[in-house]
Amino acid sequence: MEQNVYREQIMEGDIYLGIELGSTRIKAVLTGADHTPIASGSYGWENQYENGVWTYHLEEIWKGLQSCYRDLKEDVQKQYGVVLKQIRAMGISAMMHGYMVFDEKEDLLVPFRTWRNTITEEAADCLTETFQYNIPQRWSIAHLYQAILNQEEHVPNIRFMTTLSGYLHWKMTGEKVLGIGDAAGMFPIDSVTKSYDAGMLEQFEALVQNQGYSWEISAILPKVLCAGEAAGCLSEAGARLLDPSGDLQAGIFMCPPEGDAGTGMTATNSVGVRTGNVSAGTSVFAMLVLEKALTHVHREIDLVTTPVGDPVAMVHCNNCTSDLNAWVGLFAEFMETMGMEVDQNRLYQNLYQKAMEGEPDGGDILAYGYLSGEHITGMEEGRPMVVRTPGARFNLANFMRVHLYTALGALKTGMEILKKEEGVQAERIMGHGGLFKTKGVGQQIMADAMETPVAVMETAGEGGAWGIALLAAYTQEKEGRSLDKYLEQEVFKDSKIEVLSPTEEGVRGYQTFMERYTKGLVIERTAVENL
């Protein structure tokens, strides 16, 4: 019966689409009128390290977006026997931060510099001191100011600066806008005015006034929009960019483009005050919606916003599961060498479950999954490694457990600052992302590490793509309601939630591991400096 209902909705265009460009996967999720995911598509990709910069090429961005959408169309055709043509509303989301700047001809001036780069230390320190507000290295404004300090040739020619989601939305609609959550990772936001902080804009202008640039910072930033506001429609050219076959019809309403932090909050119903969520995949970040401003500037804590502009404390770490994924890939290669057939999903599931057989402290093994630098622990570059004492219990269960533990090590460091120095702690954390796909494993590890109950919804695996689809739906269905009320009343009212609480043994074990992790940072530092 449901199949027929959804088929009818697809034919009538009573559906919503969300597409999110994550660090390792582009995902599209189509929802029915009831917001249930009914079809999906994906495309795997990886950022490139070129000339000292982590980047994605524009050609790969568009290839990935089109491939992902084509995969979605094929899924719709296979499941429902119809061609996807009409959509009520849609949205684009992508990894936050980074640096994309364009000239007056709308050409990209330098290769896209992603969130993963840790090359803006001087600029980030100076701006933090000037603003008395934490400016992390990955923020767009830090990249811009570092380019100014470096006297890069392209800077005078800048006419527009945006994020990846803002770029795609612009090309698909003609609108130079950005959702407030994504904008908050470009430049500090005033949660009262729901726009860039006017005082800090002036401070930045004062910093660069002697450079002789013809642009002003306020003029090159995208316009800030809150969730629910109109952000343009898919143009004819935009429809062809997404679906070169010509099937997709133009005119689709588009919501403000958002970052993966905002879509993660939305997908986990964590946009209200005192709620929190953790997104754990290639990178990991925790978001806690604040009741009041923090009392001090903490370099380890980002201050961003929800998709409606409420202040959020974010602990963002560059590294999470990338090195863990590399080890799983090695095990897959071993299996292939032995002539075995490899089922990736089953391999992940079995290895993650094996980790739960490991000792609570990981058997005296130490690992760092730093593929890139990690600002929270003061590493400008990464050196993935495994270290053990001769007496360590080196077996598969402990090995896997330690790699799951270390994926959360930097996050734990930042969360302890919020808890002990600011008194901020969520009653419950919603978990989403790849770490939580294997039932009961990543969730329990997270609960023990954070010493907080962790909840996972059935839709946790859909992540940000579903979140931006919900934000698209909100533009059409808000009916005067706040975003948190809309989500509570229309989307999550019947949701099944599984909650795992910390265990005494698990908490003790993770604390012991963290003592080892903290002491061992000198080993990581030595590796960075000498390898």
Q: What is the DSSP string of 468-504?
A: HHHHHHHHHH-TT--HHHHIIIIISTT--EEEEPPPH
- Inter-residue contact 235 to 174 (CB < 8 Å): yes
Please write the tens of the pLDDT for every residue from 400-437: 999 999 999 999 999 998 888 998 877 788 888 788 88
Task: Look at residue 428 and give its three-state secondary structure.
Answer: coil
Nearest to 457 by CA among 429, 486, 477: 429
Which pLDDT score is estimated for 72?
98
Cα–Cα dist 350/97, whole Å: 35
Which pLDDT score is estimated for 161?
98
Which pLDDT score is estimated for 107?
97
Cα–Cα dist 334/267, whole Å: 37
Which pLDDT score is estimated for 462?
64
Write down the domain spans for the chain. 322-406+505-530
Which pLDDT score is estimated for 15?
98
Torsion of CA 252, 258, 260, 264, to 10 degrees: -80
Residue 430, H or E segment:
strand 429-432
Cα–Cα dist 97/186, whole Å: 6
Per-residue H/E/C for 500-513: ECCCHHHHHHHHHH
- Max alpha carbon distance in the chain (Å)? 68
> Within 10 Å of residue 420's Cβ, how many Cβ atoms?
10
Please write the tens of the pLDDT for every residue from 238-293: 999 999 999 999 999 999 999 988 998 898 898 988 788 888 888 888 889 988 77
Residues of the chain with pLDDT under 50: none
User: What contacts 206, CB < 8 A, 6 or more positions away?
Assistant: none
Which pLDDT score is estimated for 1?
56
Instruction: Give this prediction's pTM.
Output: 0.83
Please write the tens of the pLDDT for every residue from 444-481: 999 999 999 999 887 655 678 999 999 999 999 999 99
Cα–Cα dist 451/426, whole Å: 11
Q: What is the DSSP string of 128-186?
A: HHHHTS---TTSHHHHHHHHHHTT-TTGGG--EEE-HHHHHHHHHHS--EEEHHHHTTT
> Within 10 Å of residue 171's Cβ, how many Cβ atoms?
19
Ranges assigned E (strand) in 33-140:
37-44, 48-50, 53-55, 89-94, 100-102
Q: What is the DSSP string of 330-358?
A: HHHHHHHHTT----HHHHHHHHHHHHTTS
Cα–Cα dist 139/115, whole Å: 7
Which pLDDT score is estimated for 375?
82
Beta-ladder partners of 44: 25
- Inter-residue contact 113 to 143 (CB < 8 Å): yes
Beta-ladder partners of 179: 225
N-terminal to C-terminal alpha carbon distance within the chain: 61
Task: Retrieve residue 238's tokens.
Answer: 């935009």
